[in-house]
Amino acid sequence: MRCLNCHKDGIAKSETSCPECGAYFPLLLREMLPAGTLLCNDTYRIHSPLDQGGFGIIYRAVHIALDSVVAIKEFYHFHNEYNVLHNRLSKHKNLVTAQVR
């Protein structure tokens, strides 16, 4: 497991807080989509969160039919620039959008 606060890798799943920075995982992960969440009509399956920033959360996921690993970024809806970013990024040919919340 990876700490989304300090990015330390290799943390045992049984840990409840990061041994490096002390971040409490249940608090850090409360906004995350759980592993196994399906998106875009079951096209993608969330594997695990990779990073979290001011705009949203990046997940490692799998394109199920192609059996390939992809990155999915979930933007926070409350962010003031959400619509601007969504409109700009939705024109990118390698991006898909999904409304999950």
Q: Which stretch binds Zn ion (CB under 5 A): 16-24, 39-47, 48-56, 62-70?
A: 16-24
| Site membership for Zn ion, residue 18 (CB under 5 A) | yes
Give the residue, chosen from 1, 23, 62, 70, that forms a contact with Zn ion under the rule CB under 5 A. 23
> Binding residues for Zn ion, how many (CB under 5 A)?
8
* 85 SS3 class: helix
Q: Which stretch binds Zn ion (CB under 5 A): 4-12, 27-35, 47-55, 62-70?
A: 4-12
Closest of 71, 68, 59 to residue 32, by C-alpha: 59
What distance in Å separates the CA atoms of residue 81 and residue 67, rounded to the nearest whole number?
33
Alpha helices in 1-101 (DSSP H): 25-28, 82-89
Residues forming a β-bridge with 44: 39, 63
CB of 15 to Zn ion, least distance (A): 10
Q: Which residues bind Zn ion (CB under 5 A)?
A: 3, 5-6, 8, 18, 20-21, 23
